[in-house]
């Protein structure tokens, strides 16, 4: 009587036949496990994306500084957090607003001296960052490089002469001398400004009165800033256009460096600026 060799025919556990291919229960369990793994991965990614969008929409949004208009306080290559809740919410402060609305929800009035990111009134797809100088009803004027608010000259104290880099074209940067001052606004807020001279194109202006619901914004680098003094570009900024208040730097990279060159970070990162407070 011949013996039957079962080593090739015996399969441990029940079998499933599908399209003439035999699959063991162990293989089915492994496939189900892999499917569950991918489900969990996509679920985790989805939750992380949702949390990030909630934080970006209602709490903090990151921005970077592309120009020197806010020197010396903010430098090209600075990365900062803007608080979205400081002034309430508008159609311009909420990314991807599905239902545009007028005005602000939970509005809180900005303070003079706040550094604010806002949508450019002449092009709401463009973000600008400037300092709040004039409040609704204020009269603002520049005379001989000095700032006047409601007829009173704003005090400034000379600090020192500074050599600073000035970009005159996308391909050319030159070194120029400027003066550094500490300016004290009427509410006591002190901040540092740069002034190349007191006879620049924006150093003498006609008096203007800020309309209700609008603000007069200026860059700290006074002779190198397009701000509310240039009405064709910025002019008075509606409160509705405010995105949020600049709070703190979370990263800072040398102007000529590239953020993707991680191997150069030990030299290019400006570590002393990280977590620097911005608005008063």
41-66: burial string, b at 16+ Cβ within 10 Å, e else: eeeeeeeeeeeeeeebbeebbebebe
Residue 236 lies in a domain: yes
126 in a domain, yes or no? yes
Average pLDDT rounded to a whole number, residues 88-111: 80
Residue 11 falls inside a structural domain:
no
Nearest to 62 by CA among 237, 240, 247: 247
Whether the model pTM is above 0.75: yes
The one-character DSSP state at 186 is T
Q: Would you say residue 40 lies in a domain? A: no
Query: What digits encode the pLDDT tens for the residues 147-159?
Result: 999 999 999 999 9
- Look at residue 169 and tell me if it is in a domain: yes
Comparing 45-59, 89-103, 203-217, which segment has the lowest mean pLDDT? 45-59
**What is the structure's pLDDT at 17?**
45
Confidence (pLDDT) at 13: 44
Residues annotated as catalytic (active site), given as ranges: 69, 130
Contact 178, 196 (CB under 8 A): yes
Mean pLDDT over all residues of the chain? 84
Phi, psi of 240 (to 5 degrees): -60, -30
pLDDT tens, residue by residue, 203-260: 999 999 999 999 999 999 999 999 999 999 999 999 999 999 999 999 999 988 888 8
Number of domains the chain contains: 1
Higher pLDDT, 190 or 51: 190
Is residue 203, in this structure, part of any structural domain at all?
Answer: yes
Q: What is the largest CA-CA distance in the chain?
A: 120
Q: Work out the end-to-end distance of the chain between its first and last CA atoms, rounded to an integer number of angstroms.
A: 99
Q: Which of 55-59, 91-95, 192-196 has the highest mean pLDDT?
A: 192-196
Length of the chain: 280
Is residue 1 one of the residues assigned to a domain? Answer: no
Measured between alpha carbons, how far is 243 from 217 in angstroms, rounded to an integer? Answer: 14
Rounded percentage of the chain residues whose pLDDT exceeds 70: 81
Q: Which domain holds residue 233?
A: 56-273
Q: Number of helices (H) and strands (E) in the chain: give both, helices first.
A: 2, 16
| d(C-alpha 17, C-alpha 251), whole Å | 59
For residue 9, what pLDDT band results from cuts at 50, 70 and 90? very low
Of 278, 245, 231, the closest CA to residue 74 belongs to: 278
Residue 60, in any domain of the structure: yes
CA angle 112, 225, 113 (to 5 degrees): 10
Question: Residue 259 sits in a domain of what CATH number?
Answer: 2.10.109.10
- Least confident among 63-72, 168-177, 266-275: 168-177
């Amino acid at each position: 009587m011949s013996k039957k060799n079962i080593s090739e025919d015996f399969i441990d556990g029940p079998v499933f036949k599908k399209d003439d291919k035999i699959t063991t229960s162990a293989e089915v369990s492994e496939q189900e496990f892999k499917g569950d793994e991918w489900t969990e991965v996509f679920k985790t990614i989805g939750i992380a994306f949702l949390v990030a969008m909630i934080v970006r929409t209602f709490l903090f949004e990151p921005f970077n500084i592309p120009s020197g208009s806010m020197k010396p306080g903010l430098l090209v290559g600075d990365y900062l957090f803007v608080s979205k809740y400081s002034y309430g919410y508008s159609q311009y402060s909420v990314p991807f607003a599905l239902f545009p609305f007028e005005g602000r929800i939970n509005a809180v009035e900005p303070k003079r001296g706040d550094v604010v990111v806002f949508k450019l009134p002449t092009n709401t797809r463009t973000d600008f960052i400037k300092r709040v100088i004039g409040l609704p009803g204020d009269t603002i004027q520049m005379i001989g490089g000095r700032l006047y608010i409601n007829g009173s000259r704003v005090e400034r104290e000379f600090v020192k002469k500074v050599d600073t880099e000035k970009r005159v074209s996308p391909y050319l940067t030159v070194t120029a001398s400027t003066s550094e001052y500490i300016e004290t606004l009427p509410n006591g807020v002190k901040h540092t400004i740069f002034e190349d001279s007191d006879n620049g194109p924006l150093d003498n202006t006609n008096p203007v009165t800020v309309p209700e619901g609008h603000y007069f914004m200026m860059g700290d680098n006074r002779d190198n800033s397009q701000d509310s003094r240039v009405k064709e570009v910025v002019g008075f900024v509606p409160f509705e256009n405010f995105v949020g208040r600049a709070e703190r730097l979370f990263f800072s990279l040398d102007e000529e460096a590239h953020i993707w060159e991680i191997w150069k970070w030990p030299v290019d990162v400006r570590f002393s600026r990280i977590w620097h407070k911005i608005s008063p």
